[in-house]
């Protein structure tokens, strides 16, 4: 059977006499080409960070639990080594489990025994001292690194924890944002940051200054606030974002700050454009655990954007992101293996596996790619039934090339029963999205009256639109159709193709 390449053109020679047939690829519309092509770093800037009073990420559970139970959190004791590393006993789930069995005062759990109300021991009884009393000997060298917490450190940490437990400034600041009272929000965010050093507060202040919300736009002020987040203490084990493929765009404040700094330099938001700096900030976001940045860096390295072109480095970035479950990276890597572009060895079988992974996750272009591979036998045995299945999934999601390919099956009546009405609807849906072959095919069916009313005027319109989009078989078809138009048909076509100028 004839394979249904979604980019096949239908030739005008069959316009009035023979059946619609598939031929070699001619041209595809700019819109479809743009949709099918992998995004480049110049156009694939990460999604803009929207200013919103709603917190995109919930507050870390252990912070909430520790604050409510008066247990100190490592984030509020950064002046020394106290609680500076991960302890399973600090987890909210573990604490709840221990408490349910009356095990909250475990000797091994210093966090449970160190209360911010009495950091140096039980205030009511000298017999009960602090669980960490005496663990930190006095330092004799003032320049030496702290090895533990002394009484001053404990008191400072307890004070900060007590403030965090009682303070409502941050919530009030977000409430002010929800009311579009940015002047009040700015004041409250500044107060919240001064009290506790909330990263959420610094992030919102960066956005307020960047976008000029309730104050004059100031990129330098925005950058200063964002860099406070970047420069804060960072534990690569505890603080690194845990990437979730089911919510790939989720960020924590540190990642969001890095991405926003990348955007500033990528598009020149109050600062000169600098692809090099944008690339550096994406790398920082990747270091913080945001896997989508790896996809962007891979495309940048592949195209030499913001640095030297490095195909090997691009593959490393894309492979890491794909293995982490980031679907766009799976698709971009698959396209490289499928095309063998930029010196990458062609590997159709691997490309198809990656396309299938991305398609299973809902990537529309990957669905089209797998359908096309089954349709044409690219790296796998041809299977028209499976091709139709993938084309259908992509067509339902609005992919114009898949709609056009599926329409061809229904037009020819192979594998599926012939259904000209369905074919015409699918060609029309794809044509309205700019698919050039669908424009031509819809014109053919309109002129013939196949799958719906005969409409010479609209057939003529679609032929002209297909010609403008670059279809090279339209000239002969236009010569055949033009003499058939009545004055009324011509007037209807001109109303679409040559609309009167609007009066100013």
Region for 21 from its dihedrals, namely left if φ exceeds 0, alpha if ψ lies in -120 to 50, beta otherwise:
beta
- Outline where 167-274 has alpha helix (H): 169-178, 182-196, 199-211, 219-230, 253-267
**Residue 323 domain-assigned?**
yes
Whether residue 275 is found in the same domain as residue 348: no
Whether residue 440 is found in the same domain as residue 325: yes
Q: Range of 105's domain?
A: 71-137+147-166
Residue 236: what pLDDT? 82
Whether residue 298 is found in the same domain as residue 324: no
**Residue 284 domain-assigned?**
yes
Residue 52: what pLDDT? 37
**Residue 380 domain-assigned?**
yes
**Residue 6 domain-assigned?**
no
**Residue 61 domain-assigned?**
no
Whether residue 468 is found in the same domain as residue 319: yes
Of 86, 370, 377, nearest to 238 (Cα)? 86
Structural domain ending residue among the three candidates 304, 337, 366: 304
Whether residue 129 is found in the same domain as residue 246: no
Whether residue 276 is found in the same domain as residue 333: no
Asked whether the beta carbons of 53 and 174 are under 8 A apart, the reply is yes
Residue 135: what pLDDT? 43
Asked whether the beta carbons of 391 and 404 are under 8 A apart, the reply is no
The CATH number that applies at residue 228 is: 1.25.40.10
Whether residue 289 is found in the same domain as residue 315: no
Whether residue 299 is found in the same domain as residue 316: no
Report CA-CA distances (Å) from 153 to 73, 180, 234, 390.
13, 39, 19, 62
Report how far residue 474's alpha carbon sits from residue 467's, in angstroms, rounded to the nearest whole number: 6
Structural domain ending residue among the three candidates 286, 304, 322: 304
Residue 12: what pLDDT? 35
Count structural domains, the chain.
3
Whether residue 284 is found in the same domain as residue 193: yes
Report how far residue 459's alpha carbon sits from residue 431's, in angstroms, rounded to the nearest whole number: 12
Of 421, 419, 364, 411, nearest to 392 (Cα)? 364
If 0-12 CB within 10 Å is exposed, 13-18 middle and 19+ buried, where does residue 487 land?
A: exposed
Residue 165: what pLDDT? 77
Residue the block writes with tokens 């593959």: 315
Whether residue 345 is found in the same domain as residue 479: yes
**Residue 207 domain-assigned?**
yes
Of 146, 138, 148, 82, nearest to 110 (Cα)? 82
pLDDT tens for each residue of the chain, 504 residues long:
434 444 343 333 334 333 343 333 333 333 333 333 333 333 333 333 333 344 444 444 444 444 444 445 545 545 444 444 445 544 555 556 656 665 554 444 444 445 666 666 654 444 444 444 444 444 444 444 444 456 666 677 777 777 777 889 999 999 999 999 999 999 999 999 998 889 999 999 999 999 999 999 999 999 999 999 999 888 787 789 999 999 999 999 999 999 999 999 999 999 999 999 999 999 999 999 999 999 999 999 999 999 999 999 999 999 999 999 999 999 999 999 999 988 899 999 999 999 999 999 999 999 999 999 999 999 999 999 999 999 999 999 999 999 999 999 999 998 999 999 999 999 999 999 999 999 999 999 999 999 999 999 999 999 999 999 999 889 999 999 999 999 999 999 999 998 887 776
Whether residue 457 is found in the same domain as residue 470: yes
Whether residue 450 is found in the same domain as residue 340: yes
Angle at 412 between CA 410 and CA 418, to 5 degrees: 50
Residue 26: what pLDDT? 34
Residue 43: what pLDDT? 33
| Residues sharing a CB contact under 8 Å with residue 381, sequence separation 6 or more, in sequence order | none
**Residue 54 domain-assigned?**
no
Residue 244: what pLDDT? 94
Structural domain ending residue among the three candidates 246, 273, 304: 304
């Amino acid at each position: 059977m004839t394979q249904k390449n979604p980019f096949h053109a239908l030739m005008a020679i069959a316009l009035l006499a023979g059946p619609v047939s598939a031929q070699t690829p001619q041209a595809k519309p700019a819109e479809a080409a743009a949709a099918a092509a992998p995004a480049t770093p110049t156009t694939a800037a990460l999604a803009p960070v929207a200013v919103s009073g709603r917190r995109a990420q919930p507050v870390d559970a252990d912070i909430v639990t520790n604050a409510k139970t008066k247990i100190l959190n490592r984030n509020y004791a950064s002046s020394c080594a106290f609680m500076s590393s991960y302890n399973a006993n600090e987890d909210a789930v573990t604490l709840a489990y221990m408490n349910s069995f009356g095990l909250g005062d475990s000797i091994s759990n210093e966090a449970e025994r160190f209360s911010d109300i009495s950091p140096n021991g039980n205030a009511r009884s000298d017999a009960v001292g602090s669980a960490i009393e005496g663990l930190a000997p006095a330092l004799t060298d003032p320049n030496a690194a702290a090895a533990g917490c002394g009484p001053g450190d404990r008191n400072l940490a307890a004070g900060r924890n007590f403030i965090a437990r009682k303070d409502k400034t941050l919530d009030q600041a977000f409430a002010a944002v929800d009311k579009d009272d940015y002047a009040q929000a700015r004041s409250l965010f500044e107060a919240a940051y001064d009290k506790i050093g909330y990263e959420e507060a610094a992030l919102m202040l960066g956005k307020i200054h960047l976008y000029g919300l309730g104050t004059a736009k100031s990129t330098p002020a925005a950058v200063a606030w964002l860099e406070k987040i970047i420069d804060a203490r960072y534990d690569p084990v505890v603080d690194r974002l845990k990437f979730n493929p089911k919510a790939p765009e989720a960020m924590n404040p540190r990642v969001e700050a890095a991405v926003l700094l990348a955007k500033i330099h990528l598009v020149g938001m109050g600062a000169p454009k600098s692809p090099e700096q944008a690339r550096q900030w994406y790398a920082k976001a990747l270091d913080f655990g945001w896997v989508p940045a790896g996809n962007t860096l891979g495309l940048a390295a592949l195209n030499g954007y913001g640095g030297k072109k490095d195909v090997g480095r691009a593959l490393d970035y894309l492979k890491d992101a794909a293995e982490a479950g980031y679907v766009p990276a799976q698709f971009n890597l698959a396209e490289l293996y499928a095309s063998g572009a930029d010196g990458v060895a062609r590997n159709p079988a691997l490309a198809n596996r990656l396309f299938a992974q991305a398609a299973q996750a809902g990537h529309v272009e990957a669905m089209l790619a797998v359908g096309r591979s089954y349709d044409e036998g690219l790296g796998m045995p041809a299977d028209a039934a499976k091709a139709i299945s993938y084309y259908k999934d992509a067509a339902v999601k609005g992919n114009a090339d898949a709609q056009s390919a599926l329409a061809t099956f229904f037009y020819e009546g192979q594998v599926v029963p012939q259904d000209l009405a369905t074919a015409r609807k699918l060609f029309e849906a794809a044509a309205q999205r700019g698919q050039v072959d669908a424009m031509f095919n819809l014109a053919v069916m309109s002129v013939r009256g196949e799958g719906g009313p005969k409409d010479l005027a609209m057939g003529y319109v679609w032929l002209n639109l297909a010609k403008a989009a670059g279809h090279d078989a339209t000239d002969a078809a236009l010569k055949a159709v033009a003499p058939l138009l009545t004055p009324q048909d011509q007037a209807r076509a001109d109303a679409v193709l040559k609309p009167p100028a609007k009066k100013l």
